[in-house]
Structure 1
Amino acid sequence: MPRSYASAVIDATADEVWAYLRDFGNLADWMPGLQTSVIEDGGPGDRVGCVRRVWGHGDSVFRERLAGLDDAERSYWYQVLEAPLPIRAASARLRVAPVTGTGQAFVEWWGEFAADAGDEEAMGKTLSHGIYATGLDALARRFS
């Protein structure tokens, strides 16, 4: 399966960034291009098994299930249930770690997916640059 990856150093502590990111339901608050996001059953955004529905431009909808959350590792991982992209069997992970020399946060976002051979390269770039890196850049601005 192809893997897409992005990372960023954020000018805040790892604990501060994780306290904000651990809410799986707040994606539209910091991710550019999203209109709104909600947890489908209205429950908390840190409950493993919850499903977030995210609306982008037009009628584009992503649905993602929180598969795990680890506060000690400052990490969560999720499965993509529905996406307006030609991908399938997609999953992703977001992790926050301290930069020991500066006290800043190092944030990684990566995922794996399956796609038809003709779509693999484009989808890898879309996920790495169009989604993960774009989101992390916006997150960095939020904490600057």
Structure 2
Amino acid sequence: MPRPYASGIVPANADTVWEIVRDFNGMPAWHPGIASSELESGASAATVGAVRLLTLPDGGTVRERLVSLDDADRRMIYDILDSPFAVRSYRSTVRVAPVTATGEAFVEWWCHYDAEAADEAQLDKTFTRAIYATGITGLTDHLAG
């Protein structure tokens, strides 16, 4: 099973970065690849089981369910329910950790998914670069104001 991965240093403390990342409905504020987000069924952004509908800049949509929100470990896990990606299953994790030497935040983002072998290289590139690395850079830009 493929495991695309990206990481980066965000020049803010881990608690500040986590407060932004943990908002399951807040991605449009910091991820340039997300035009809008709407929680379904009036759920709270901090409620495990909440489903969000993300709209992409091209009008495509992605539905995701929050599987786990762990404030102590600064870790969020979510599944894709529906998307334009050719995956049969997809579970992603975002984790924020302190860089103790500098006071910055180390952000990791990865997933496990199942897809046709012929699609894996393109999916790995899309998830790693267009979603995760772009999102981590977006966090830095957002915090820079």
Q: Distance in 2 between matches of 1:74 and 1:58?
A: 31
Query: Structure 2 stretches of 5 or more lacking a match?
Result: none
Q: Distance in 2 between matches of 1:50 and 1:123?
A: 25
Q: Distance in 2 between matches of 1:10 and 1:42?
A: 32
Partner of 1:112: 112
Q: Distance in 2 between matches of 1:58 and 1:20?
A: 24
User: Segments of 4+ in structure 1 off by > 4 A?
Assistant: none
Count of aligned pairs between the two proteins = 144
Q: Distance in 2 between matches of 1:24 and 1:57?
A: 18
Residues 63-100 of structure 1: CA distance to partner in whole angstroms, max 9, x if unpaired? 00000010000111001101111112101000000000
Q: Distance in 2 between matches of 1:102 and 1:137?
A: 18
CA shift for structure 1 position 132: 0.5
CA RMSD of aligned residues (A): 1.0
Partner of 2:137: 137
CA shift for structure 1 position 57: 2.6
1:52 counterpart SS class: strand
2:97 counterpart SS class: strand
Q: Percent identity?
A: 44
Q: Report if aligned partners of 1:39, 1:52 keep a CA contact under 8 Å in 2.
A: yes
TM-score under structure 2 length normalisation: 0.95
CA shift for structure 1 position 59: 3.1
- Letter of the 1:26 partner, please give it: G
Q: Report if aligned partners of 1:26, 1:38 keep a CA contact under 8 Å in 2.
A: no
Q: Distance in 2 between matches of 1:59 and 1:10?
A: 29
Query: Structure 1 stretches of 5 or more lacking a match?
Result: none
Partner of 1:42: 42
- Letter of the 1:50 partner, please give it: A
Partner of 1:71: 71
CA shift for structure 1 position 58: 3.3
- Letter of the 1:102 partner, please give it: T
Moved more, 69-78 or 30-39: 30-39
Q: Report if aligned partners of 1:68, 1:77 keep a CA contact under 8 Å in 2.
A: yes
Q: Report if aligned partners of 1:8, 1:140 keep a CA contact under 8 Å in 2.
A: no
Residues 27-68 of structure 1: CA distance to partner in whole angstroms, max 9, x if unpaired? 112111322101112221010000010011333110000000
